[in-house]
Structure 1
Amino acid sequence: MPLHPQAQAFADMVAQQDSAGWEDQRPEEARIAFAGMTERFGDAPDLARVEDHDAGDGVRIRVYGHDADSPSAAVVFFHGGGWVLGNLESHDAVCRRLAAFSKCTVVAVDYRLAPENPFPGPVDDCYAALKHIVDHCDALSIDPNRIAVAGDSAGANLAIAVAMKARDEDGPTLQFQLLLYPVIEPKFETQTYVQFAQGYGLTRATMQYFWQQYLGAAPGESPASKMPLAVPSKAISLAGLPPTHVVTAEYDVLRDEGESFARLLSDDGVPTTLRRYDGMLHGFIHFAGLFDTGVLATEDVATILRKKLH
């Protein structure tokens, strides 16, 4: 379908600003700009409990909880931003909405960013945070038998890596994973990468930059580009990963790889569902304050989480 009018208005606004791409800014400058953009378009509902905790080794977590008489299901959320941008604040509204709609406790992880901390640093931080959450489930009022991982964009890539480590290292048992327009692999010649290379928010040049910062070198030159924890499609098998729901956006360079990964999961016996939101851009759930479909999609995935975890 055509680009949704709200998405078109957003794309036009970005184009009119004529601002430098993320790849044209120093990381510290880009982080400030990203924070300002997410604050401007956020919409954060109030919750009964929002608490920050130290998960060790400089990693913070933020717990979005509810008044409850018993431990609740939990969604451990890893934010997007190309492994270079984002923090607890940038995705605060996303996590609040997800917690409010799903009635789960959402725990956001503030992992260290590239290029200062390239792969495997963010993966290690996220997995350590998951283990910390499970080890402290009583204090956090979380049921350790009802935990999912989730993330948007690069955060979805980290969610997959965490699920792989949990599977391979006899770690915490995960009941589900939610992948919102996931980053899967540094291949930039898919149909959607070519079709939506420019003019639709997330560009091919930006993704090439993000991958290089994360891997520590251009993908073709980095040994990490062959490692499944960085590039999930390189895994010999995806069997044993938790049931998965994948969300993609029609006008997104990442659409093809996200949908291809959903097929790989299904082929390896992982119960997998896929939902493409037509007319939408990358990040539409993040910017639900601008996109009505972003709110509807959050409600959709929250319903799935309730069914899988409650």
Structure 2
Amino acid sequence: MDWIAVFTSLEAVCEENITALSGPPDLPYGDASRRLVTCMRKIQDHGRALEPVVSGITAVYHHYDFDSDTPGNGYRTLVKVLQSCLLHIIHKGRYIASNCHGAFFRADHNASEMEAYGSVLCQLRALLYIAQGMLHDNCPGQLYGEQDGELSRRLVREYASMHKACFYGRCLGFQFSSSLRPILQSLIISMVSFGESYEKQHSGLGMAAFSLLTSGKYVIDPELRGEEYERITQNLDMKFWKSFWNLTESELVSGFASLTSTLVQVNLTLTIPPEPLLLPLVSDPRLSAPVSPPVAHWGPGPVNMRLISYELREGQDSKELLAFSRTEAPPISLSLVPFGAQKRPPSPWLLIHFHGGGFVSQTSKSHENYLKSWSKDLNVPILSVDYSLAPEAPFPRALEECFYAYCWALKNCHLLGSTAERVCLAGDSAGGNLCITVSMRAIACGVRIPDGIMAAYPATLLTIDASPSRLLTSFDLLLPLGVLSKCINAYTGVDSETVQPTEGTSTLSALGRDTASLISDLTHGASKWIQSFFPAEVLGSWSSSHRRSLDNEAHQRSVSPCSSDSSSGPRDYPEGFEPRRSERLSVIQTPSCPTVKNPFVSPLLASDDLLRGLPHVHLVASALDALLDDSVTFAKKLRDMGQPVTLRVVEDLPHGFLSLSGFAEEIKVASDICVERIREVFQQQTLPSCTRK
């Protein structure tokens, strides 16, 4: 990207608009014209101030990549997000300059839109100043600074007071491709509608009806949507997030997904009783290592799993396996087995999967859409583990259950349609963390380790430590800092509500399954129905009553981001600049429990001795993910130890993109990359000591 050309174009567009819209008082659209001129002058000031900042960051950000073939780190991402914002402003500015005197020019709408992007640019300028401070304070090449350092405290303070609604209103998803924005907009509208009805404690059909009625206003009024999203991400409790994300478990949503997903012959849910296992020691197979069932917090308990297989294989319909089945419907789809066909022999491969969801939500059912596709593409049986969720089951319960499931699968692979000659662990986000920590535990116990790991956007550092990509939590759609801290606190036991789970309890703990189905369906339907009546510009212009202009004194009040206990150092921002501030302050409970630094919670903090011996680790990260630096730093750590590791950074996708499989071509491409990495684990016979590509 030629940044000189970008800033030159921005300057030219601003001047062109100021000239075109400045004129006598009787100029058409007088008030809107004045607003646009004011806004363009502020954008011009932001651009002039940002040019040297961007120049300084781009001059050195390649030093923070994993290697020269893998461009990707939080500094690059922040600059890329700024680029997206500036290109939107330039495109819109050219349109305004060319059409502002036309008969059909919607002055109010265009002024509101330009003001919204001006607000975003102001906030991005603040984040880039913080990133500039990280470059100065951190060691060269290091994305994370000193543990519990001032930069991390500053990140929390800034998030608590910084105005964030502008990122979720008119500019929602501006940093993503045009094919992803409608999906993300529907998701955010559903979330804020659900949040409003959740707070009013509606139940049953009342909640569904309320969500239907409220969703429309968030389509018509993007500013109101942004304000509501900022509010719920700051104030709603963990039960809300568990309830919302578990909507993917509803019969309607899962039923719709199944219509577009790959048909498989085996989709079997299992409940494995808590019985001790014996596995051979790697050092001396004549000896055995005992493996205890999970016991943390409430004693021994069963482990739930799901077996998915594109083809029916020997062992998968055995009485021994079906005795563990907890599926009410027939687990083997005989209608999908060709007439007269025999069961396929066991596969030499086995894929064991741990799902994402921040350790607090979702199950294998939420992820079965892409797992079915993987089973077909790889022609391999997949065992996905439904580990217990926080805060009811904090660390180490999930790790114990996943490790027990892994050991049980090795011992009983013949029931799963596999000989387990090669075993790969795969997971996303929290599941990626569990892939790594289960392997670490296998090393510690002396039993067989998997032949490889594919971890998609894994959480390897469960702290609020600052890095350039963690700055994205100030406006991330799926992982804002308030939500990230709640998930970390829940998993590490700060917000523990440990109870003995009830057998057969639905994952929709706060909602009836039918209610959740209606909410999801009606909210989406209402949004589409309302949008169908009005063109986009009309919808936008109706929201002016809730517009927050750049001149709004309530948001421009001077609130110092540094409290009195800040270290003595240079001013946080240049003289005369202050980001917009929110009327509501977030309360972020910074994870301070010692558990966050346990290497089996944050593998990035593990010693070399604990990580040495890991199998080949394949990391697939996203450039627009707030956890990008987790993957880059962990990959560097393994590489520097001589451990085999690869890192692939995909573009333009949010955290959790695998859960959105089927909605966009970019997600399909990224999912295929994950499949190829898993295939490498299965097909590669000898591994080099270190792979950088």
1:84 equivalenced with 2:360 (yes/no):
yes
Contact preservation (8 Å) 2:622, 2:654: yes
Contact preservation (8 Å) 1:7, 1:281: no
Contact preservation (8 Å) 2:248, 2:362: no
Structure 2 counterpart of 1:254: 627
- 1:6-64 superposed Cα distances (whole Å, 9 cap, x missing partner): 23333333444462457755555433421324736844211122212222322111111
Contact preservation (8 Å) 1:27, 1:85: no
Structure 2 counterpart of 1:118: 394
1:35 equivalenced with 2:246 (yes/no):
yes
> How far does residue 120 in structure 1 lie from its aligned partner after superposition?
0.6
Farther off after superposition, 102-111 or 21-30: 21-30
- 1:160-198 superposed Cα distances (whole Å, 9 cap, x missing partner): 110100111112331000111111111342111113422
Quick one: which amino acid aligns to residue 228 of structure 1?
P
- 1:69-125 superposed Cα distances (whole Å, 9 cap, x missing partner): 233311111111110001121111132122122222111000011111100111001
Alpha-carbon distance in structure 1 between the residues aligned to 2:411 and 2:233: 37
Structure 1 counterpart of 2:178: 5
Alpha-carbon distance in structure 1 between the residues aligned to 2:265 and 2:348: 14
Structure 2 counterpart of 1:202: 479
For normalisation by structure 1, the TM-score amounts to: 0.92
Farther off after superposition, 22-31 or 138-147: 22-31
> What RMSD in Å do the two structures reach over aligned CA positions?
2.1
**What is the aligned counterpart of 1:272 among 641, 645, 655?**
645
Alpha-carbon distance in structure 1 between the residues aligned to 2:661 and 2:436: 24
Structure 2: give runs of 5+ residues left out of the alignment.
Answer: 1-79, 85-175, 196-231, 274-300, 313-343, 495-588, 684-693
Structure 1 counterpart of 2:636: 263
SS at match of 1:117: coil
Change (3 A) 1:18 1:110: closer
Change (3 A) 1:253 1:61: same
> How far does residue 143 in structure 1 lie from its aligned partner after superposition?
2.2
SS at match of 1:257: helix
Alpha-carbon distance in structure 1 between the residues aligned to 2:361 and 2:633: 25
> How far does residue 273 in structure 1 lie from its aligned partner after superposition?
1.1
1:285 equivalenced with 2:658 (yes/no):
yes
Structure 2 counterpart of 1:60: 304
Change (3 A) 1:87 1:25: farther
Identity of matched residues, %:
23
> How far does residue 306 in structure 1 lie from its aligned partner after superposition?
2.1
Number of residue pairs aligned between Structure 1 and Structure 2: 310
Quick one: which amino acid aligns to residue 206 of structure 1?
V
Contact preservation (8 Å) 2:460, 2:603: yes
> How far does residue 126 in structure 1 lie from its aligned partner after superposition?
0.4
Alpha-carbon distance in structure 2 between the residues aligned to 1:23 and 1:140: 44
**What is the aligned counterpart of 1:191 among 441, 452, 468?**
468
Alpha-carbon distance in structure 2 between the residues aligned to 1:286 and 1:91: 6
Farther off after superposition, 61-70 or 151-160: 61-70
Change (3 A) 1:219 1:228: farther
Farther off after superposition, 183-192 or 273-282: 183-192
Structure 2 counterpart of 1:45: 262
Alpha-carbon distance in structure 2 between the residues aligned to 1:164 and 1:94: 26
Quick one: which amino acid aligns to residue 444 of structure 2?
D
Alpha-carbon distance in structure 2 between the residues aligned to 1:78 and 1:194: 27
Quick one: which amino acid aligns to residue 11 of structure 1?
L
Alpha-carbon distance in structure 2 between the residues aligned to 1:220 and 1:24: 17
Farther off after superposition, 184-193 or 119-128: 184-193
Alpha-carbon distance in structure 1 between the residues aligned to 2:669 and 2:370: 13
SS at match of 2:270: strand
Farther off after superposition, 54-63 or 191-200: 191-200
Change (3 A) 1:54 1:37: closer
For normalisation by structure 2, the TM-score amounts to: 0.43
Which is richer in helix? 2
Quick one: which amino acid aligns to residue 50 of structure 1?
N
Alpha-carbon distance in structure 2 between the residues aligned to 1:128 and 1:52: 16
Contact preservation (8 Å) 2:428, 2:457: yes
**What is the aligned counterpart of 1:239 among 612, 615, 628?**
612
- 1:221-279 superposed Cα distances (whole Å, 9 cap, x missing partner): 31212211101011111221010111111111111111211111211222111111111
Quick one: which amino acid aligns to residue 34 of structure 1?
W
- 1:272-302 superposed Cα distances (whole Å, 9 cap, x missing partner): 1111111111111220121212212222221
Quick one: which amino acid aligns to residue 30 of structure 1?
W
1:94 equivalenced with 2:370 (yes/no):
yes
Alpha-carbon distance in structure 2 between the residues aligned to 1:254 and 1:232: 14
Alpha-carbon distance in structure 2 between the residues aligned to 1:70 and 1:30: 40
SS at match of 1:286: helix
Contact preservation (8 Å) 1:192, 1:254: yes
Alpha-carbon distance in structure 1 between the residues aligned to 2:425 and 2:377: 16
Change (3 A) 1:22 1:45: farther
Alpha-carbon distance in structure 2 between the residues aligned to 1:227 and 1:172: 23
1:136-175 equivalence runs, <5 A:
136-175=412-451
**What is the aligned counterpart of 2:347 among 71, 84, 93?**
71
Change (3 A) 1:55 1:99: same
Alpha-carbon distance in structure 1 between the residues aligned to 2:307 and 2:476: 36
Quick one: which amino acid aligns to residue 599 of structure 2?
P
Alpha-carbon distance in structure 2 between the residues aligned to 1:209 and 1:143: 41
Farther off after superposition, 257-266 or 48-57: 48-57
Change (3 A) 1:22 1:149: farther
Give the number of the structure whose alpha-carbon radius of gyration is greater: 2
Change (3 A) 1:220 1:297: closer
Contact preservation (8 Å) 1:184, 1:232: yes
Change (3 A) 1:62 1:11: same
Quick one: which amino acid aligns to residue 13 of structure 1?
S
Which is richer in strand? 1
Alpha-carbon distance in structure 2 between the residues aligned to 1:156 and 1:53: 22
Change (3 A) 1:23 1:92: farther
Alpha-carbon distance in structure 1 between the residues aligned to 2:476 and 2:616: 34
